[in-house]
Structure 1
């Protein structure tokens, strides 16, 4: 990119794959695959472009986490671990840029339910490995029909507006804002509330 355009001002790191399953059910390969894409994809992108962003004099790193980088969710331990990791990495990078006096802004993005194919792609990947249950299929249908609602174009506009305003954190969607508020107000109670919601939404007994 630098060879083609001469300078790099902004980098948006947005790798993301999903994987369900409990800690007891998931194998090590699942964790390695999800962390390798979601977390190390962000780390690689940030490290590769950081020297160019510093050299530009007004660089900006934008790393996409998730509302699951704010709130832990049952049956999403690999995904949550990766997105909490993105949040921690990004916040540490921001502190480093300030400590070292580099002219680079750093933003972490926490999208809620955006209408992408991440849930369907995760299901298809699991199907190829023969790991899909009827419950998994029903869960993905619920995500696609009821939870992943915001058009990608709207999410992109919110992110760009936040970057232009030099925001450190960008919450995309009312669901992300609600989750952020819930975790801040009820840090000890929210896991139980999330479990209750999980049982109602996904009909778990």
Structure 2
């Protein structure tokens, strides 16, 4: 997909970070936007930045709410008559917790938003995407979906799930020649507020500060990388030098990977 003028682009988690940067970038390319966020105030701020309520379709709701996501899909199609690009960007994080000390309630919370939210967004819009000669569904995973990370078992679980679902979907759509390209995106450290807005972030501010110092990529750079990947019909997008390093280290023998990740975990402790 080379030209986004008048294409309908759906973005979840558009109230800040990569989601907002994507909305701004697509608006500059002439796309028609359908935006979502759980925070009504930040969502409206993004909507105002990209043209205002008169020209942007938007709804605030929690993407873990299946009924709300499916209703959003129907409303977007009713409003615009079509959908060309869906970007499932909404996501949350947990502060540093071991697999055992993470409560079942926290597992359910993060899986509901990160994994089920992505699946709802994909499955609700997929029949509409398949009606176009070419279309894209883009799902935000992470470098933590390339290899599991100590003290991020819950987050890694969701990001591996996003990667696996999207890779399988990409092959299915290609087998059936639907014209839908499914893309898994793996950002490294992005300069957003996801670490500070993580659940229990206030209990681990020192680790958060260490992580943020390693965040190398701006949301605007991330957005441009994603758009370039959609144009090239890529099924995997790595964002940032840290993501590329992490991806290629993961191809090394397992013992080397383990040494690297243990060293990383001790440094962040």
When normalised by structure 1's length, the TM-score is: 0.90
Structure 1 Cα separation of the partners of residues 256 and 160 of structure 2? 19
4+ runs of 1 displaced by more than 6 Å?
none
Asked if 1:99 is matched to 2:166, the reply is: no
Greater share of helix: 1
SS in 1 for 2:229: helix
Contact 1:67 1:111 (8 Å CA) reproduced: yes
Trace 1:31-180 onto structure 2 (pairs within 5 A): 31-122=107-198, 125-126=199-200, 133=203, 136-144=204-212, 146-180=213-247
Q: Give the number of equivalent residue pairs.
A: 193
Q: 1:126-184, CA deviations, whole angstroms, 9 ceiling, x for partnerless residues?
A: 26xxxx54xx121111122x122311001100110011011111100000000000001
Say which is worse superposed, 175-184 or 92-101, in terms of deviation: 92-101
Structure 2 regions of 5+ residues with no counterpart?
1-75
Q: Corresponding residue for 2:265?
A: 198
Contact 1:67 1:110 (8 Å CA) reproduced: yes
Say which is worse superposed, 56-65 or 82-91, in terms of deviation: 56-65
Structure 1 Cα separation of the partners of residues 254 and 222 of structure 2? 27
Contact 1:70 1:84 (8 Å CA) reproduced: yes
Query: 1:188 deviation in Å?
Result: 4.0
Contact 1:23 1:75 (8 Å CA) reproduced: yes
Structure 2 Cα separation of the partners of residues 198 and 188 of structure 1? 15
When normalised by structure 2's length, the TM-score is: 0.69
Higher relative contact order (CA 8 A, sep 6+): 1
Query: 1:100 deviation in Å?
Result: 2.4
Structure 1 regions of 5+ residues with no counterpart?
none
Query: 1:186 deviation in Å?
Result: 2.8
Q: Corresponding residue for 1:14?
A: 89
Cα RMSD over matched residues?
A: 1.3
Query: 1:56 deviation in Å?
Result: 1.6
Q: Corresponding residue for 1:182?
A: 249
Contact 1:72 1:191 (8 Å CA) reproduced: no
Query: 1:81 deviation in Å?
Result: 0.6
